[in-house]
Each structure stands twice: as C-alpha cells, then as structure tokens.
Structure 1
Amino acid sequence: MLSAAQVRRIALGFPEAAEQDHHGFPSFRVNDRIFATLPDPGHLNVMLDANQTFWSVQHYPDTCEELWWGKRLSGVRVDLGLAGRPMVADLLSEAWRRKAPSHLVV
C-alpha cells in the first residue's frame, strides 16, 4: 500500500519533474507534459503507451486497469491500496521516460 505522499516523493524524484494542479488534483510533469496524476488519495493514473498498459494490466490485474480518455487509451489506473513501491516506481519511470526530453533520458 502506498500513500499519495509516497507517490509524490517517487514522481518528483525524476529529473526536472514538477507537480502542478490539473483540474483540482495533482499532476506530475516533465517539460510541461503530464506523466501521472493523483485524481484521489487511493488512485494513481500513469500515462503509458498501449503496449506498456496492456502488459501492466495483464501482470497486475488486481492493481492496474486500463485508463481511457474518451475513446483513447491513455495509460493505467493504479489502486494504491494494493500497489507496491517497486511496481509504482517502475510504472512512473516508464511514463516519465515517454514524456521527458531526450537529453534527460539516459
């Protein structure tokens, strides 16, 4: 189980990551591009590509579900009550890499 504060520490640990309000809830950004949001204290939305999303849902079916924005698959919704720190850190790392400028990605 992870708290919103623990998620915040992980997300803000990536180079040039910043927290910004997004319609009344926290979003985590790099280069002004959202890589994750905390829509409520019990859930984390992580912006992944389709392959990463399908993999996450398949490997963590109790913790991850597909996240849709209208008709567009945008990532995974993570149940923080069931999630472990290593999994959340890995998902956030993948999302950060997708949004970060190339000079930051090693």
Structure 2
Amino acid sequence: MGKLREVCGAVTGMFMADGLIEGYDDPKAKEEKAEVYARVRALAEAFQAENHSIICRDLLIDVETSASAAPEARTKEYYERRPCGAYVESAARIFARSLGLPEA
C-alpha cells in the first residue's frame, strides 16, 4: 500500500474484513482481542503457506518496480506483469474458508 512494500494490501484487507465481521467493539475486551489476534495470525499463516510471504516486497521480488513514490500508469501491461490480482484472489479464498463458506 502506498508503495511502501510492507504487508500486502490483500492481506491487510483480509484482516480488516475479519475485524468487521468477527471483531469486537469494547476496547477492554481482552478475551475478544485475543481471539482476533489468533484469527489474524491464522489468516496470515494460511496466506504465507500459499504464497510464501505476506510482505509485498517479497511477493513482488521478480517484478520490475519503480522506486519512485509516484503511482505508475494502470495499463494493461501494468496488470499483466503484476501478480497482485492473484494475491487478492488467494486472500479472498482463504478468508471465505475461515468463515466456513463453500469454495466458489
């Protein structure tokens, strides 16, 4: 996100979706917080097992990228050389599985 190349945006989205669906609203709820942490770790481990990392720079190691903070033009070629769509699909599949939803 933001070309920082830290945690993959698809992984972050998966964590956010989990928090919205399975999260808690009392900041003092230690047990619920521990449950969220355990789910986030399980989701991260599943993504890493399937994709070798949750870190963007590792996932894009074989993709030529610009060091500039400026966004690149979103052309057909841009999307063809980036595996990001496949990572979004992987995160969605892993999250759906965590909710007990059937495979699409």
Settle same-fold status: TM greater than 0.5.
no
Write 1 or 2 for the structure with the bigger share of helix: 2
Q: TM-score, normalised by structure 2?
A: 0.37
The structure whose RCO (Cα within 8 Å, separation 6+) is larger is 2
Structure with larger Rg: 2
Q: TM-score, normalised by structure 1?
A: 0.37
